[in-house]
Amino acid sequence: MSTLLRTTLVEAKLFLREPTAVTFGVLFPTVIVLVLGAIPTLREPSQEYGGARFVELWAPSALVLGIGIVALQNIANVLATYRETGILRRLSTTPVHPAQLLLAQLIVALVAVAVAGTLLVVSAWLLLDVPLPRHPWTFVAAFGVGFGAVLALGALVAAVAPNARIAGGLATLVYMVLMFAGGVFLPRFLMPDALVRLGDYAPPGVQGLLTAWSGDPAVLATVGAETGAPQAVQLAVMAGVAGLAGLAAARLFRWE
Amino acid sequence: MAVVEVANLHKRYGGTVGVDDVSFSVDEGEIFGILGPNGAGKTTTVECVTGLRRPDRGVVTVLGLDPRRDRAELRQRVGVQLQQSRLQEKITVAEALALYSSYYRRPADWRHLMEALGLADKRRTRFGQLSGGQQQRLSIALALVGSPTIAVLDELTTGLDPQARRDTWDLIEQVRAGGVTVVLVTHFMDEAERLCDRLALIDSGRVVALDTPAGLIAAARREQRVRFSPSAALDDRLLIDLSEVTDVRRAGSQVIVTGTGNLLHAVTSVLARNRIVAHDLRVEQASLDDAFVALTGRRLDP
């Protein structure tokens, strides 16, 4: 077994021992959607949303919530803590480069959001009749680059923050902005058009997730899907954010 | 045979000089101490030795390797316990040891190491739940888990209670008995005196002395002092006439004799010849603390 695999398995165990990350990052998105789905007016098509179903409209925002917790909050905190408490420094005295530990963390985060996403999509499908993604490959791509962009921002926060406390504060700030743009706090169809468009480009790209997921024209109409940026452009923007922020994080990251 | 050689090491950070001019060599199988006050440049020195920092000037050779160029090989053969390095709060003792042992080409048996360091009953305990002494023992175990030829241990007992410190010292002696060369960084005199075969005294980035603890002490104070309360009247001249004695003073009922050589024997012989018993006889010997004061003009622990 390679050292990266061993390190990843240990980091995965450590992730599972963090109740906040597991509960809020992995389970919470599904729980919220199911709870909202238990309310008949939110489960059924409503004239208020132009004939769309609220749960179907809002489900991608729940994904944004999970990605934000795992890839932004948790990663920024873990990386900054590993540096501050000398874990990276200790590792740099062994034959293993401390970058392996960071890589292991990123893999754990990827698996965690993949589990969170699958759980949400499948339970919404089984329990709330929200169809499975209409364009599954585009959905996976949007999910992948969106996650990558948020993860890169989380790593960048850890790279520039002088300590874990400031990393936590900065990550929360960025998190609030992304959650707002992603329609987590206020459903996007209630927002002015300019803010809805923000969701096209703010990582992880709630609009891209929505358009790849839902085939209901009523759902798409509420957030101006047909007038918004083409999907390819949205994906490219996410990939660009992931690349630039990732590169900046790698360059700026201090090992001690 | 020297396993570590440091020659004219110099390292500055911005405007301040961390290490000015440090040279020493460590022989195979010894416990070598690097002793000095906080900020003297001890940690910078070991960071250069372990390849974590690049020296501005000077040559460092460890097991015939260049710590920067041959860092991969060096890391296989040198175990390091750094000052204030923690682990993940929720990693267990067994998980940490198993993981770190997988990093090495020829690891030690980590279960055996866990037994030897008295951590076996804590194997499932998370790092954050261990006491300071247990965390320190785990740190030492991680420095040894790769079966290193040299172990570098930085500020090993800082923050430990007296019992934990003594246990840690016993442990270091066992490690050396196992054939590992130990480089010990400390600002504790008693620790250096107890453990080290030889030590380099560092002050303001320079080596001010390099000797055995006993040699340093002897160099620092050739004079000794004998104090006692004589059982009968004693003429000072009896003592002053001795070649070993340089000074005789009185403090109340006590006589304080200062001198060199075999002072105690000379004084007690004279007293015996004159049928005087010395009550409360005390010989004041210099300690490493005195040596430090003598060499640097100030105290180690302010």
Mean pLDDT of A204-214: 87
Same domain, B242 and B255: yes
Q: Which domain holds residue B259?
A: 222-285
Looking at the structure, tell me whether residues B207 and B245 fall in a common domain: no
Which of B191, B218, B245 lies at the terminal end of a domain, its last residue? B218
Domains of chain B: total? 2
Does residue B193 surpass a pLDDT of 90?
no
From B153's Cα to the closest Cα of chain A, the distance in A is 12
Q: Which of B194, B218, B242 is the last residue of a domain?
A: B218
Same domain for B50 and B152, yes or no, is yes
Reported confidence tier of residue A171, pLDDT bands at 50, 70, 90:
very high
**A179 neighbors A80 (Cβ within 8 angstroms):** no
Q: What is the C-alpha to C-alpha distance for residues A217 and A226, in angstroms, rounded to an integer?
A: 10
Residue B302 covered by a domain: no
Tokens of B279: 């009550």
Place of tokens 């709870």: A35
Band of pLDDT at residue B101, cut at 50, 70 and 90: very high
Instruction: Break chain A into its structural domains and give their ranges.
Output: 3-252
Same domain, B207 and B227: no
Does B213 share its domain with B233? Answer: no
User: Residue A151: is its pLDDT beyond 90?
Assistant: yes
Q: Supply the CATH number for residue B236's domain.
A: 3.30.70.100
Query: Which has more confidence, A158 or B168?
Result: A158
User: B190 and B77 in one domain?
Assistant: yes
Pair (B195, B240) in one structural domain: no
How close B80 comes to chain A (CA, Å)? 6
Q: Are residues B202 and B231 in the same domain?
A: no
Please answer whether residues B24 and B207 qualify as being in contact, where contact means their C-beta atoms are separated by less than 8 angstroms. Answer: yes
Residues on chain B touching A13 (C-beta within 8 angstroms): 95
- Confidence (pLDDT) at B160: 79
pLDDT at A229: 65
* Confidence bin at A80 (pLDDT 50/70/90): very high
Closest CB from B82, B102, B104 relative to A89: B82
User: Does residue B50 lie within any of the structural domains?
Assistant: yes
Is the pLDDT score of A166 beyond 60? yes
Is B124 within a domain?
A: no
pLDDT for B10: 93
Q: Is B50 on the interface with A (CB under 8 A)?
A: yes
Across all residues in chain B, what is the average pLDDT?
Answer: 88
Q: Which two tokens stand for residue B141?
A: 């175990």
Please tell me whether residues B207 and B244 are part of one structural domain: no
Quick check: is B276 in a domain?
yes
Q: Which of A8-17, A233-242, B57-66, B236-245 has the lowest mean pLDDT?
A: B236-245
Who among B75, B84, B91 is closest to A94 (CB)?
A: B75
CA closest to A98 among chain B residues? B103
Q: What is the pLDDT at residue B299?
A: 66
Contact B85 A87 (CB under 8 A): yes
Residues 6+ apart with CB under 8 A from B54: B48, B68
Asked whether residue B222 carries a pLDDT value surpassing 70, the answer given is no
Cα-based distances in Å from B234 to A26, A40, B226, B267: 89, 109, 15, 12
Residue B32 scores a pLDDT above 90: yes
Scan residues 68-107 of A and list those with Cβ closer than 8 Å to B.
82, 85-87, 89-90, 92-96
Nearest chain A residue to B152 by CA distance is A93
Bridge partners of residue B11, in order along the sequence? B19
> Would the pLDDT of B302 be above 60?
no
Residue with more model confidence, B221 or B201: B201
Q: What is the ipTM of this complex?
A: 0.86
Q: Is pLDDT at A48 greater than 80 in this prediction?
A: no
Reported as half-sphere exposure (CB side, CA atoms, 13 A), residue B249 has a value of 6
- A163 DSSP 8-state letter: S
Give pLDDT tens digits for A225-237: 666 667 788 889 9
Which pLDDT does position B300 carry in this prediction?
62
**B window 58-117, beta carbon within 8 A of A:** 72, 75-76, 78-80, 82, 84-88, 90-91, 95, 99-100, 102-105
118-177 of B, contacting A, C-beta below 8 A: 142, 146
Query: What mean pLDDT is predicted for residues B37-41?
Result: 83
What would you report as the CA-atom Rg of chain B, rounded to the nearest whole angstrom?
Answer: 24
Give the pLDDT band (50/70/90) at residue B221.
low
Residue A208's pLDDT band (cuts 50, 70, 90): confident
In this prediction, residue A245 has a pLDDT band, given cuts at 50, 70 and 90, of very high
Go through B103-130 and write b for each residue having 16 or more CB atoms within 10 A of its CB, e for each that does not: bbeebbebeebbebbebeebeebbbeeb
> Is residue B208 located within the same domain as residue B241?
no
Q: Given a cut of 60, is residue B59 above it in pLDDT?
A: yes
Give the model's confidence band at B40: pLDDT under 50 very low, under 70 low, under 90 confident, else very high.
Answer: confident
Cβ separation A14–B86 shorter than 8 A = no
Return the pLDDT at A230: 74
Same domain, B85 and B71: yes
Do B200 and B236 fall within a single domain?
no
| CATH number for B80 | 3.40.50.300
- Measured between CB atoms, which of B86, B102, B104 is closest to A87? B86
- Confidence band, pLDDT 50/70/90 cuts, at residue A105: very high
Q: B130 to chain A nearest CA, in Å?
A: 16
Domain end marker among B218, B235, B261: B218
